[in-house]
Amino acid sequence: MKKNLVMIFTALLLLILSACGQTASNDNKANDIKTKENDNQNIASLSIHLTNDLLALGITPVGSVVGGELNDFLPHVKDQLKDTKKLGPAKDPDMEALIALDPSVIYIDKATSGEDISKYEDIAPTESFNLDEGTWRDHLKTIGKLVDREQEAEDFIADYETLTNEVKTLADDELGETSKVMAIRVTAKELRVFTTKRPLGPMLFEDLGFKPAAGIEELDSTQPYEVISQEVLPDFDADAIFVVVNSDDKAQTAFKQLEESPIYQGLKAVKNKHVYVVSDQPWLDYSAIGNKLAMEEAKELFTK
């Protein structure tokens, strides 16, 4: 009887030790992945915005997709990505280059990479982000937790809030607290008005607290912009206008033609010299770095 009890206890002890060993093994694997993910040379990013969130935390991905129109890294971070492999545009990444990198983890944006992430998971563990949910702050915090840089994320956000409050004060002094604002974009082929959605909506109407010009809130907030004709610009009755002009020559020419039109010259914002012309980057880069650089430029605009 005693021998049987000893054998039973021994078997149970072996089972417990085996389970503990398996748990420890799983924990070690998870820690190995996290350690690799923390390594600056092991993350492949298939979103330019996630790439820039990583850079905000001091992490340089081993590979990253590029801006579709530029076919290159965004200009305001290009110098930080000298050692990063270009992986093509987000909607059609270079899978062979991605495989060759042998990353320890891949970051993707659901909007561009789709719901089926199995092809990425076959290469490496994959973190999928829905950048339409939450704000860039939420995305930064999530990444901070993944790479064990939560404090860096909090510090970055705190610095941004301090900067934003400074810009708010300057803007209120120049425009007044009740001013209504809109943002437009001039491209080579069309004129666009931004909605309340990212990339510009959150910064203007939430962070800086500007009131949307007439009709802005009625635009489709699931889309970043709506194409308009210059004839409807007066209908918005904006006290201030942010104008994003593409950097190519045709867009610059289109903007000059717009500036010379009687309709544009008759706008209240134009008459009162409350038009703020900004570049497409970093203003349209809805990431931690993009927003902070844009806010720094806004501070310069209102300081002038």
76-100 residue pLDDT tens: 999 999 999 999 999 999 999 999 9
User: Each residue of 28-50: pLDDT tens digit?
Assistant: 444 444 444 444 449 999 999 99
Listed in order, the ranges of the chain carrying CATH 3.40.50.1980 are 43-133, 153-303
Kindly give the pairing relationship between strand 191-194 and strand 225-228. Answer: antiparallel
Query: Which residues does residue 89 pair with via DSSP β-bridges, in sequence order?
Result: 66
Using CB atoms within 10 Å of the CB of residue 268, give its burial: 0 to 12 exposed, 13 to 18 middle, 19+ buried: middle
pLDDT of residue 178: 87
Average pLDDT over residues 149-167: 98
- Which residues touch 27 (CB under 8 Å, ≥6 apart)? none
Q: What separation in angstroms does the CA of 44 have from each of 21, 51, 107? A: 32, 8, 6
Q: CA nearest 203: which of 300, 110, 112, 282? A: 282
Is residue 242 predicted with pLDDT exceeding 50?
yes
Separation CA 12–CA 118 (nearest Å) = 39
pLDDT of residue 177: 85
User: Each residue of 57-67: pLDDT tens digit?
Assistant: 999 999 999 99
Is residue 24 predicted with pLDDT exceeding 70?
no
The structure tokens 């349209």 sit at 284
What DSSP letter does each residue of 150-192 carry, written as one string? HHHHHHHHHHHHHHHHHHHHHHHHHH-TT-EEEEEEE-SS-EE
Is residue 55 predicted with pLDDT exceeding 50?
yes
pLDDT of residue 18: 52
Q: Give this prediction's pTM.
A: 0.84
211 vs 177 pLDDT, higher one: 211
Using CB atoms within 10 Å of the CB of residue 4, give its burial: 0 to 12 exposed, 13 to 18 middle, 19+ buried: exposed
Average pLDDT over residues 136-140: 98
pLDDT of residue 69: 79
The model's confidence at residue 53, banded by pLDDT at 50, 70 and 90, is very high
Is residue 159 predicted with pLDDT exceeding 50?
yes
Q: Does domain 43-133 have CATH number 3.40.50.261?
A: no
What DSSP letter does each residue of 229-265 carry, written as one string? -GGGGGGG--SEEEEEE-SSHHHHHHHHHHHHSHHHH
Please give the share of the chain, as a percent, with pLDDT higher than 90. Answer: 81
pLDDT of residue 304: 79
pLDDT of residue 68: 80
Report residue 208 as tokens: 């800086």
Is residue 164 predicted with pLDDT exceeding 60?
yes
**From the CB of residue 30, how many other CB atoms can be counted at a distance below 10 Å?**
11
Q: What is the mean pLDDT of the chain?
A: 89
Fold of 153-303: Rossmann fold (3.40.50)
